[in-house]
Structure 1
Amino acid sequence: MPNIGVVLKDEITRLAKKVLKTQIGPLQASSAAQRRHIAAMKRQIASLEKEVARLRKGAPGRAPAAAAASEGDEQPLRFQAKGLRSLRARLGLSAEDFGKLAGVSGQSVYNWEAEKTVPRRAQLQSLSRLRGVGKREVQKMLDAAT
């Protein structure tokens, strides 16, 4: 026959575990929810830091909706250094000659291609006009400029 002290001790242990479980359960759920919230905030901070770095670098990206709406119905002009390099190579122009056509210096063209700087809006418009031009037309434009 079991000893009354052992039975009493086992029952007290069982009841204490039951009470602890009911009190700790909500705390564990709250802790798990807070960990999920912290993880979501860390992801949000990382994405915001990437966007701040992109904006500091001056790289063109998607324009904010407010800026796009204020410009009206015209398409926003995009710039990619790779596209400028391929356009200049397709036309067979030096950076200096391409700069003359765009109304800028050859150094500006070089800096755009090296992604050191980004053209301004007016310069983007002149670059967009050169996209559809062929080699013969470019040569005529250069002859007229000199």
Structure 2
Amino acid sequence: MPNLSSILKSEISRIARRELRDEVATLRKSVSQHRTALATAKKVIADLQRRMRALERKPKVSAVAGEPKDGRKHRYSAQRLAAHRAKIGLSAKDYGRLIGVSGLSIYKWEAGGTRPRQKQLEALATVRGIS
């Protein structure tokens, strides 16, 4: 016949295992929810960091876009640019050096394929004053 203490010990361990199983199940559920929340938070942080880098890369636009610094508007014409370059007798490469751009940019501006930016328009106005 089994001893009363061994029966009591086995019964206590059985009840303890059942209680622990319930507690562990609750903890597992909680850990799972925390992991899901953590993964979501990491995704949000990564998205926000990506957006922040994209905003940092964007050029900063002045309050009045397209206005020259000195207040005067500079007119641009591809034909006038070609005529002025021919008048002063410079190659596209040399003319580009005066403005701070490549010779290919000068060719494209003269052909009408592209338009110079505001900074280059100001440099063109300065170079036009040379002649």
TM-score when normalising by structure 1: 0.42
Point out the structure with max Rg over C-alpha: 2
